[in-house]
Amino acid sequence: MHWQLPIRQLSLLHKKHSVMETILLSDNDAELLKAAQFIKDGEIVGIPTETVYGLGADASNPDAVAKVFAAKGRPADNPLIVHLADFSDAVHYTQNIPELAYKLAEKFCPGPLTMVLPKNEKIPMITSGGLDTVGIRVPSHPVMHKIIEMSGCPIAAPSANTSGYPSPTSAMHVMRDMKGKIAAVVDGGQSEFGVESTVISIESNDRVRILRPGCITREMLLEVCGEVIIDHAILHELEAGQKAASPGMKYKHYSPKADIIMVEGDIKSFCKYVEDKVDEKVYCLIYDGDEFTIPCKYLTYGKNSSEQAHWLFQKLRELDDIGAEKVYVRAPSADGVGLAVYNRLIRAAGFEVIRA
Ligand code: AMP
Ligand code: MG
């Protein structure tokens, strides 16, 4: 990395946590004001969004951002997305915004789309992981929106999980991972989409590249852009020495403690493949409505891609809670929103896919 973290934030990153009280806030205005005040004061707070829960900090305060990296155990070169109340605020934190970004914003903001744009000096290097670009998103969740407005801060908010573990889709998940490490968690119910935002870079005035798939799909982006490239690293492991278009691509992600094995095929061939592998600690994760014909314990994660996106992380966490050690997952379709689900699972599975 050509960029060096200032000593002050470096020491905050590696500081041993003194355990702090983490309060649970509800989503009425009085409680949201408390959350906003914590953020203004440089503390960090778990916040609901329409994708997954985020760990929010004032993106322009390097010490607050250092606390986010420390609480998650996140590698310092993995940048944070900055959340704004309205896309028109992006001019305060970025520069040379391409025309296409405005067109995309008109169609998809507020919503689960993150655009990587050239940053300006208001975004400290620690927030962008040392890059000269920053991911900008305008969330649609009313609670997140209110907290941004009440705090008056641009809010850096990565997913509120311990780095590497499945993202949180409820306040309880955030408490599990972050209790004692952060000031508060705001309970805004279950996340609607269930997977993180679609991250894109803008390559020309007609072409974008998907760096992380989400609920804004390639097909939806094609309604605004002439060309939408799906980065190779979304479905394939980076080769040794290969540079990642997005730093998050380098890291193991979304993994529960259990071993995840992805199996492609219809439910009949899936059952046939797993049949002789059934054991006390073995579970299956299959579709709702699948005709399951083998004596193995199982959970389901929805019958179509949107439901699977909504439930995936919750089910991966549940499998750990019930003591699963090995989980055979019936692979989702990789089309539309399914690409986001497939991308999370193939990473959780360490890129191993079995064709039954
Ligand atoms: P999370 O904060 O957990 O939702 O992850 C955000 C992901 O967005 C990171 O892991 C990066 O891969 C990606 N990202 C954020 N900012 C940038 C950026 N400036 N350039 C490329 N990718 C980015
Ligand atoms: Mg994350």
Tokens of 57: 């900090």
313 and 321 in contact (C-beta within 8 Å)?
no
Residue 244: the pLDDT is 87
Assess whether pLDDT exceeds 90 at residue 27: yes
Amino acid identity for residue 303 in this structure? K
CATH number belonging to the domain at 259-355, selected among 3.40.50.300, 3.40.640.10, 3.40.50.150, 3.40.50.11030:
3.40.50.11030
* pLDDT (tens digit per residue) in 43-92: 999 999 999 999 999 999 999 999 999 999 999 999 999 999 999 999 99
Query: If pLDDT is split at 50, 70 and 90, which confidence band does 2 have?
Result: low
- Backbone Cα Rg of the chain: 20
* pLDDT (tens digit per residue) in 165-177: 999 999 999 999 9
Q: Which ligand is nearest to the CA of 254?
A: 2
User: How do 133-137 and 155-156 pair as beta strands?
Assistant: unpaired
- Residue 128 beta carbon below 6 angstroms from any ligand 1 atom: yes
174 C-alpha vs ligand 2 centroid, how far in Å?
Answer: 12
Residue 17: the pLDDT is 64
Residue 61: the pLDDT is 98
d(CA 21, CA 16): 16
Task: Give me the sign of the Cα torsion angle 295, 296, 297, 302.
Answer: negative
Residue 252: the pLDDT is 72
CATH number belonging to the domain at 7-234, selected among 3.90.330.10, 3.30.450.40, 3.90.870.10, 3.40.47.10:
3.90.870.10
298 C-alpha vs ligand 1 centroid, how far in Å?
Answer: 33
Assess whether pLDDT exceeds 80 at residue 313: yes
Tokens of 209: 């590249």
Going by C-alpha positions, the residue among 151, 120, 135, 172 that lies closest to residue 58 is 151
Residue 308 exposed, middle or buried by CB count within 10 Å (0-12, 13-18, 19+): buried
Query: If pLDDT is split at 50, 70 and 90, which confidence band does 8 have?
Result: confident
Which ligand 1 atom is at minimum distance from the Cα of 161?
A: 3
90 C-alpha vs ligand 2 centroid, how far in Å?
Answer: 22
Of residues 3 and 169, which shows the higher confidence score? 169
Instruction: Please list the residues that pair with 45 across neighbouring strands.
Output: 56, 184
Residue 242: the pLDDT is 83
Nearest CA to ligand 1 atom 17: 135
Query: If pLDDT is split at 50, 70 and 90, which confidence band does 1 have?
Result: low
Query: If pLDDT is split at 50, 70 and 90, which confidence band does 4 have?
Result: confident
- Residue 105 beta carbon below 6 angstroms from any ligand 1 atom: no
* Mean pLDDT over each residue of the chain, to the nearest integer: 95
129 C-alpha vs ligand 1 centroid, how far in Å?
Answer: 9
Query: If pLDDT is split at 50, 70 and 90, which confidence band does 16 have?
Result: low
Amino acid identity for residue 332 in this structure? P
Assess whether pLDDT exceeds 90 at residue 337: yes
Residue 241: the pLDDT is 81
Three-state SS for the chain is CCCCCCHHHHHHHHCCCCCCCCEEECCCHHHHHHHHHHHHCCCCEEECCCCCCEEEEECCCHHHHHHHHHHHCCCCCCCCEEECCCHHHHHHCECCCCHHHHHHHHHHCCCCEEEEEEECCCCCCCCCCCCCEEEEECCCCHHHHHHHHHHCCCEECCECCCCCCCCCCCHHHHHHHHCCCCCEEECCCCCCCCCCCEEEEECCCCEEEEEECCCCCHHHHCCCCCEEEECHHHCCCCCCCCCCCCHHHHCCCCCCCCEEEEEECCHHHHHHHHHHHCCCCEEEEECCCCCCCCCCEEEECCCCHHHHHHHHHHHHHHHHHCCCCEEEEECCCCCCCHHHHHHHHHHHCCCCEEEC
Residue 249: the pLDDT is 85
* pLDDT (tens digit per residue) in 112-142: 999 999 999 999 999 999 999 999 999 999 9
d(CA 232, CA 140): 29
User: What residues are neighbours of ligand 2 (ion), with CB under 5 Å?
Assistant: 159
Residue 56: C-alpha distances to residues 26, 182, 208 (Å) = 16, 10, 27
Residue 238: the pLDDT is 87
Query: If pLDDT is split at 50, 70 and 90, which confidence band does 7 have?
Result: confident
Any idea where the domains of the chain sit in the sequence? 7-234, 259-355
Place of tokens 């609901």: 48
